[in-house]
Structure 1
């Protein structure tokens, strides 16, 4: 095949050692390049760098042709100069529910490729004989496990997404009536709860892409709260020791994770560029039965393509069926433009909590959200 010298650049953040999704993304890019003669170059970076890069597109005029991002990053539309996706273009393979995860004010700014993106509890069956679906189980096991140098449960508690199950268990949610809702009594209760449980040694805060996984696989943490996206890595390393269950009930309330999608957005108005047809052709290729099946089979992700998803649900393992069923116990991730500032403020507060108390952390959240919104 004659090679075309044109190149399409795709940014993504499948960067952690446990995020095997990078294997399929790179393979899809290679296949497209070989079959269509258009070079698709994936560029990996961590989520902080990806956010920073997309946030500077309007300022610098520089950006990729596509980026594969969590759905809430559709809200970076103004800073990232996102192209609108033509109406109905992918309605033959994606449901309206899937498409809506990457809409902003009713306008389509992204195309979902993967679904789910939700948090579950992974637990070691050699440590917990049955599913630890209530927080009481972790507290009751704490003395015995601590004596064995095992932490009952871990999570990445410097990241707002991991904090949502605790906030939701106390009746909180970061959006109310279309406005930020993070300086609340429920937020303070959730912050107090995790500070107390960390102090008691029941709960450990560990980096979600490294320490959390390593210590869980190594048997130093009995259970972890983590994303469906990490299942393939854990399954490979833990095999029959690994099990999955719902997020825990805390003080009588069920924890809820957010759910969303991961999909393609088009920064720097790339769909008005000379590469428009190649970009849309690559998007269509990503949504093909072939590529969607690769995500499901090779790295055990949840495809956005409805038919492929239905096949997966009917034929997968009990652990994966649990993960799929737990999608029903989630709330859609908000995609309001102000969510950029909500996540930043929660992150700042959680870092503060690591070395102080709930009241100081809440003050930090309050200060940060007001400064961010006032700067708009």
Structure 2
């Protein structure tokens, strides 16, 4: 009987344990913030570390989804149509031109961090309203050079032409960049006094655009640059010492700093006939699609925003990935740097113009691509291509507004 008592007691204990287990409420796992971004791969370790810090401090997990930048806008718009938007996005400010498709609400002034410099707020403003939080800025093109190959950087395309025979003899390319991308053409348009969009009006049939087309095509005709090298190809050539100069964006600064080290030099874009090239600049923003219907999750998103704009976190964007913070105090501090490469970056920004975020700019980009292809590959003149671009972009904008 003693053994039966032991067995009965054990069974009773097991049954009691099951009852207690099932009657106790399950500990709910915190719902994560779903955040999509298209930052370069070199930034991934930093972003992972940063949002782990946020989770450690708040208990709110963040699920990061990396999307190749060229696909990010399409993925977001597709997700909006299927009601599968993320809770938060990190993207260039020009994405805000699609605020309707991306379901981005206007942000009240009371919710915009007061630490942001007023000039940076302009990068997210459309028709007097703001649709994202700018947390670092720049995103502009500048010229990099390899100090082991270049004693004194060129300041103009005229000087680059003089340098070319020297590098030809050494089987080194003079300069490389993502030639077929129109973002690299825009600074040439700026040098000739034009801009692709003024306000909401496309400006593609202008003397500046025609002159820019001719100059840009001439770079290939003179064999100063190869036309078939994209962004990744150009970066690799430069890192491997196969090209002396590189025109690229601030997004590549940290990667180049790590791969080239002390031999990395930064200079302003080369002048054209005594006039500075004018690249676009913009901010990167944090934005919350469909924020107004997020319910209790709004509190989590507000905590994420406050974290991103905290002074010590803003400093990390500069120290870790070389991006200029929008924080008033920090922006002023880093602008007074003694680092010659950083000083060159700020000098370049003096010649830059803000990238338009108006939705019309999307049509301008497409028309530029088509017009450039007609001119550079299909035998049309620069003048004919300019007329075609202007008619095309005006027709597409009109169709969109109907």
TM-score, shorter chain, exceeding 0.5: yes
For 1:29, the equivalent position in structure 2 comes to 51
Structure 2 gap ranges (5+): 1-26
TM-score, reference length from structure 2: 0.85
For 2:10, the equivalent position in structure 1 comes to none
Aligned to 1:230, the other structure's residue is in SS state helix
Contact 1:29–1:40 (8 Å) recurs in 2:
yes
Aligned to 2:282, the other structure's residue is in SS state strand
For 1:14, the equivalent position in structure 2 comes to 39
Structure 1 residues 364, 266: CA separation in 2 closer, same or farther (over 3 Å shift)? farther
Aligned to 1:25, the other structure's residue is in SS state helix
For 1:179, the equivalent position in structure 2 comes to 201
Contact 2:202–2:390 (8 Å) recurs in 1:
no
CA RMSD of aligned residues (A): 2.3
Structure 1 residues 213, 74: CA separation in 2 closer, same or farther (over 3 Å shift)? same
Q: Quote the offset at 1:5 in angstroms.
A: 2.4
Q: Quote the offset at 1:168 in angstroms.
A: 0.9
Structure 1 residues 170, 89: CA separation in 2 closer, same or farther (over 3 Å shift)? same
Q: C-alpha separation between the residues in 2 aligned to 1:330 and 1:291?
A: 26
Q: Which has the larger radius of gyration?
A: 2
Aligned to 2:377, the other structure's residue is in SS state coil
Q: C-alpha separation between the residues in 1 aligned to 2:348 and 2:331?
A: 14
Q: Quote the offset at 1:176 in angstroms.
A: 2.7
Aligned pairs (5 A) from 1:64-75: 64-75=86-97
Q: Quote the offset at 1:4 in angstroms.
A: 4.2
What is the CA deviation profile of residues 222-261 of structure 1, one whole-angstrom value per residue up to 9, with x for unaligned ones? Answer: 2111112211111111122221111111123211111111
Structure 1 residues 332, 161: CA separation in 2 closer, same or farther (over 3 Å shift)? same
Match of 2:396 among 359, 364, 372: 372
For 2:22, the equivalent position in structure 1 comes to none
Asked if 1:307 corresponds to 2:332, the answer is no
What is the CA deviation profile of residues 291-310 of structure 1, one whole-angstrom value per residue up to 9, with x for unaligned ones? Answer: 11111111221111122223
Contact 1:57–1:79 (8 Å) recurs in 2:
no
Asked if 1:122 corresponds to 2:144, the answer is yes
Aligned to 1:79, the other structure's residue is in SS state coil
For 2:157, the equivalent position in structure 1 comes to 135
Aligned pairs (5 A) from 1:1-376: 4-16=29-41, 20-205=42-227, 209-267=231-289, 269-274=290-295, 275-315=297-337, 317-350=339-372, 355-357=377-379, 359=382, 362=386, 365-366=389-390, 368-370=392-394, 372-376=396-400
Aligned to 1:42, the other structure's residue is in SS state strand
Structure 1 residues 34, 206: CA separation in 2 closer, same or farther (over 3 Å shift)? farther
Q: Quote the offset at 1:172 in angstroms.
A: 1.6
**Bigger mean CA deviation after superposition, 197-206 or 245-254:** 197-206
Aligned to 2:100, the other structure's residue is in SS state helix
**Bigger mean CA deviation after superposition, 74-83 or 342-351:** 342-351
Aligned to 2:216, the other structure's residue is in SS state helix
Q: C-alpha separation between the residues in 2 aligned to 1:68 and 1:239?
A: 28
Aligned to 2:85, the other structure's residue is in SS state coil
Higher helix share: 2
Structure 1 gap ranges (5+): none
What is the CA deviation profile of residues 137-171 of structure 1, one whole-angstrom value per residue up to 9, with x for unaligned ones? Answer: 11112223223222222221222222111111122
What is the CA deviation profile of residues 84-118 of structure 1, one whole-angstrom value per residue up to 9, with x for unaligned ones? Answer: 22213234211221122111111110001111111
How many aligned positions are there? 371
TM-score, reference length from structure 1: 0.91
Contact 1:54–1:76 (8 Å) recurs in 2:
no
Higher RCO (CA 8 Å, separation ≥ 6 residues): 1
Q: Quote the offset at 1:341 in angstroms.
A: 1.2
Contact 1:56–1:79 (8 Å) recurs in 2:
no
Q: C-alpha separation between the residues in 1 aligned to 2:259 and 2:373?
A: 30
Q: Quote the offset at 1:135 in angstroms.
A: 0.6
Q: C-alpha separation between the residues in 1 aligned to 2:141 and 2:60?
A: 36
Contact 1:142–1:201 (8 Å) recurs in 2:
no
